[in-house]
Amino acid sequence: MYWQNNYEPGSIASIVLLLRRSVQRFFQHWTIASQFTQSEAKGRTLVRSYHYSAIMKTLFLLFSLSFVTTISIAQQPDKYILLKPDRVFDGETMQSGWVVLVKNNKIEQAGAMIFKLSAGTEIIELKGMTLLPGLIEGHSHLFLHPYNETSWDDQVLKESRAERTARAVNHAKATLMAGFTTVRDLGTEGAMYDDVGLKKAIEKGVIPGPRMIVATRAIVVKGTYGPKSPSPDVELPQGAEEVAGLEELSKAVRSQIGHGADLVKVYADYRYGPNGEAQPTFSQLELQSAVDIASGSGRKVVAHASTTEGMKRAINAGISTIEHGDGGTEDVFKLMKEKNVALCPTLAAGAAIQQYRGWKKGIDPEPQSITNKKKSFQLALQTGVTICMGGDVGVFSHGDNAREMELMVEYGMKPIDVLRSATSINADVFGYGEKIGRIKKDLFADLIAVEADPSIDIKNIRKIKLVMKDGVIFKKE
């Protein structure tokens, strides 16, 4: 009767079911036997002996099944997939004549076909295609959707966390299908620690999505962020965790780490000046304190910073990346290079916001903010600052992440350098270079294939034909 289930006899699932039932029997017999004492009648003693005998038999069965289960798991065959593209971008260089062999969830071989294949290896021909490491989105907000659909204030104040999570599930899938197998998600914008739950659901295979590097709530100085109340007597829920002073900042950093943050995000400046202009928020001492606490746990701190002073404070405090960096000057960018601080420019977010305000690109005159952004980005390039790829996606549609890569090229970066930023550079800067970002033996098998050569025309990065994450194929055309 043990096999009256939907599992094939001898399968791991059926063995686990039998183990569970055996454990149940063990405790049933143990409960009955333990009720009898030596002083009870002989008949009951015989009954107790029967149950003790049953216990010993059950223990033997449990031992046997555990042994069989271990052997069965050990005998599961390795899965091999050989990918044969026209060219391979390994995260640093475009290679010709390469193939890539995947074993289970890791890259087993990458290079010329000078190794033997195991029997049963699946071979995937990728004629005319380029194979790349899975792309890494450096600045996303999976719990936001485009502001021309619903304003940021209304998303934070009027959308339930259940709705926002439901949207985030769709956003995660769209991101993965666009070839982005990892995202650095820099704040839930009022959705508390729901990014940690989303990350775990993806890791468990409940839903498809990219690997997530999460910041949870982010941290702002009290009174500087939003949404803003029209009445000074009404306090509204905020899009990040508010703090006032070193003690509260320290507590917030530790709390977010305890809730599952992979990194800490702070707002080094924000638009809270007398006329709504951006001004610095945290002091350099406060920022240094956040960095000290986070680094002690092996985590990095990143900073939203768009003003010159806010950037300087963050850089000198030991921040790992500057997000946005609109107010960067030559001196600031030189300081970033000296301190090994990377820039995540988020070009696409600024362009999207101007378009929401009515700007028709290619028809209307270029807004001053776009002109300024181009100049600061080009200055950062000329100064030799490490450039990450991150678009602040959520301001614009998830799955349209390649928009940032296209603008990086349009604003003066070489396509091959953009590909590096979206793979190996992001991986190294974020602290994951030994796991993802390159096509290299023993790294995770996060791989994508696109038509043609994106190092010649970056728009080819949109022509996704294959998406593999952790050795599992999620898309194949």
Residues 89 and 70 in one domain: no
Tell me the sheet residues that pair with 444: 106
- The closest alpha carbon to 265, from 308, 311, 321, belongs to 321
Domain harbouring 127, CATH code = 2.30.40.10
**Same domain, residue pair 139 and 69:** no
Number of folded domains that form the chain: 3
Q: For residues 212 and 126, state if they share a domain.
A: no
- Of the residues 74, 100, 126, the one at which a domain ends: 74
**Closest Cα partner for 301 from 429, 152, 166?**
429
Distance (Å, whole) CA 98 – CA 221: 51
| One domain, residues 362 and 292 | yes
Does residue 243 lie within any of the structural domains? yes
Asked whether 279 and 273 are in contact (CB, 8 A), the reply is: yes
In a domain, 7, yes or no: no
Say how many residues make up the chain: 477
Tell me phi and psi for residue 328, to 5 degrees. Answer: -65, 135
413-443 pLDDT tens trace: 999 999 999 999 999 999 999 999 999 999 9
Asked if residue 17 and residue 86 are part of one domain, the reply reads: no
- What are the C-alpha distances in Å from 379 to residues 66, 119, 333, 384? 64, 54, 8, 9
- Say if CB 344 and CB 322 are below 8 A apart: yes
pLDDT of amino acid 56: 55
What is the predicted pLDDT for the residue at 75?
62
Please give the structure tokens belonging to residue 191.
């959705």
1 in a structural domain: no
Give the H/E segment covering residue 126: strand 122-133
- Same domain for 117 and 246, yes or no, is no
End of a domain among 74, 96, 120? Answer: 74
231 and 331 in a common domain: yes
In this prediction, the residues of the chain whose per-residue pLDDT falls under 70 are 1-75
Kind and range of the H or E run holding 55: helix 42-74
Please tell me the pTM assigned to this model: 0.86
50 shares its domain with 117: no
Q: Are 198 and 169 in contact (CB under 8 A)?
A: yes
**Segment 63-75, tens digit of pLDDT:** 554 554 444 445 6
Residue 123 lies inside a defined structural domain of this protein:
yes
Q: What is the pLDDT of residue 66?
A: 53
Please give the radius of gyration of the chain, using alpha carbons only, rounded to the nearest integer.
Answer: 28
φ/ψ (deg, to 5) at 89: -95, 115
Candidates 476, 448, 430, 473; CA nearest to 184 is 430
CA distance 219 to 265: 6
Determine the structural domain holding residue 455 and report its residue range: 77-134+438-477
Helix, strand, coil percentages in the chain from 3-state DSSP, rounded to 5: 40, 20, 40
Would you say residue 2 lies in a domain? no
Residue 5 inside a domain? The answer is no
* pLDDT at residue 29, rounded to an integer: 53
- Determine the pLDDT at residue 156: 98
